[in-house]
Amino acid sequence: MNRLVSRIVIAGSQQAIWQELTKQDEPQAAVFNAWLHAQALEPGRTVQMRTASGDKVIVVGEVVEFDPPHRFAHTFRFTQYDDPPCLVTYELKPVPGGVEVSLIVDNLPVGTRTGKSMQSGSNSILNTLKEVVETGRPKLATRLMYAIFGRMEFALPKRCDAANWPLDQSKEETQ
């Protein structure tokens, strides 16, 4: 599998969904409660997903496309693995009953830890996004899982330390 496509229809506004996927001022409940950090949300600029404390960088990438509130694409690489980067794209399209949200992963590195994580995580992200937009928060089980993640941050490898991943790094360093 080189491409993974997941879709869901959310009964909410396109703007509310877009805000949840691109906010930088609080954790993204749909994306495992990680914080989005970016030089700027514009093509060519570096993005990161960090833990709640900001001490660990989980994902690095570069914005490829940013077309509010329709499409957001960025490269994606877990800092704890040596797997090649893939391309993550969120597409939002109004449909009867709400907004269809597609999460597309291109160049998925098959057979890698990244590939396995993305296959299991994409539906979880979309289902949690639906919960957050439609009810205001994730289910209790998800909130408990996030609380455990927060307590276990220390277990992430040293290579994930934020000091190793400056936000202003060059494109070559994120790939």
* pLDDT tens digits, one per residue of 49-68: 999 888 999 999 999 999 99
Mean per-residue pLDDT for 19-48?
92
Residue 151 has pLDDT above 90, yes or no: no
Instruction: Give domain status of residue 45, yes or no.
Output: yes
Q: Which residues, at least 6 apart from 56, have a Cβ–Cβ distance to it below 8 Å?
A: 50, 153, 156, 160, 161, 162
Instruction: Give domain status of residue 175, yes or no.
Output: no
Identify the CATH number of the domain in which residue 106 sits: 3.30.530.20
Which one of 27-36, 47-56, 67-76 scores highest in mean pLDDT? Answer: 67-76
Domain of 33 in residue numbering reads as 3-164
pTM higher than 0.75 for the full model? yes
Range of weakest confidence among 5-19, 38-52, 134-148: 134-148
- Higher-pLDDT residue of 12, 171: 12
Mean per-residue pLDDT for 5-23?
96
Instruction: Give domain status of residue 172, yes or no.
Output: no
What pLDDT does residue 173 have?
A: 46
What pLDDT does residue 152 have?
A: 85
What single DSSP character describes residue 4? E
Buried b (16+ CB within 10 A) or exposed e, 43-60: eebbbbbbbeeeebbbbb
Per the structure, how many domains does the chain have? 1
Instruction: Give domain status of residue 88, yes or no.
Output: yes
What pLDDT does residue 33 have?
A: 86
Instruction: Give domain status of residue 171, yes or no.
Output: no
Instruction: Give domain status of residue 169, yes or no.
Output: no
How far is the C-alpha of 84 from the C-alpha of 77, rounded, in Å?
A: 7
Residue 47 has pLDDT above 90, yes or no: yes
Residue 7 has pLDDT above 50, yes or no: yes
Do residues 133 and 20 make contact, with C-beta atoms less than 8 angstroms apart? yes
Q: What angle do the packed helices 113-135 and 14-22 form, to 10 degrees?
A: 130
Instruction: Give domain status of residue 66, yes or no.
Output: yes
How much of the chain, in percent, has pLDDT values that exceed 90? 69
Strand partners, 105: 4, 88
Burial of 172 (0-12, 13-18, 19+ CB in 10 A): exposed
Mean per-residue pLDDT for 5-28?
95
Task: Tell me the average pLDDT of the chain.
Answer: 91
Mean per-residue pLDDT for 134-160?
87
Do residues 162 and 56 make contact, with C-beta atoms less than 8 angstroms apart? yes
What pLDDT does residue 36 have?
A: 95
Instruction: Give domain status of residue 174, yes or no.
Output: no
Buried b (16+ CB within 10 A) or exposed e, 61-91: bbbeebeebebbbbbbbbbbeebebbbbbbb
Residue 70 has pLDDT above 60, yes or no: yes
